[in-house]
Amino acid sequence: MAEAGVAGVEVSSWAAFLMPEKTPPAIVRKIHDDTVAVLGQPSVRDKLEQNGAVIVGSTPQELQAFMTAETEKWGQVIAAANIRRID
């Protein structure tokens, strides 16, 4: 964005595993722990990082906080630009 002349704007893409709200905590914990373990393997981590990824491996609570902040930030942009869904 800075190269486009818009200072102070941070834009990134991200990916996450999402589950239904009522997924049992033990299953959420298992998927999280297994995912973090795989992302920590040098062969996986190195390949992702070579392709520009920044591995975070946040907790479910951290992901929720991040998604809430992203929704608020981009919701304001959408409202300010009067962006509407086209069906």
pLDDT tens, 26-35?
A: 999 999 999 9
- Asked whether residue 39 is assigned to any structural domain, the reply reads yes
Q: Is the pLDDT of residue 77 over 90?
A: no
* Nearest to 65, CA basis, from 56, 76, 54: 56
Q: What is the DSSP string of 32-84?
A: HHHHHHHHHSHHHHHHHHHTT-------HHHHHHHHHHHHHHHHHHHHHTT--
* Residue 6 belongs to some domain of the structure: no
Asked whether residue 75 carries a pLDDT value surpassing 90, the answer given is yes
Residue span of the structural domain in which 31 resides: 22-80
Confidence of residue 2 (pLDDT cuts 50, 70, 90): confident
Predicted TM-score of the model (pTM): 0.73
Q: Is residue 11 part of a domain?
A: no
Count of domains for the chain: 1
Q: What is the pLDDT of residues 23-64, one digit of tens each?
A: 999 999 999 999 999 999 999 999 999 999 999 889 999 999
Residue at 67: amino acid letter: M
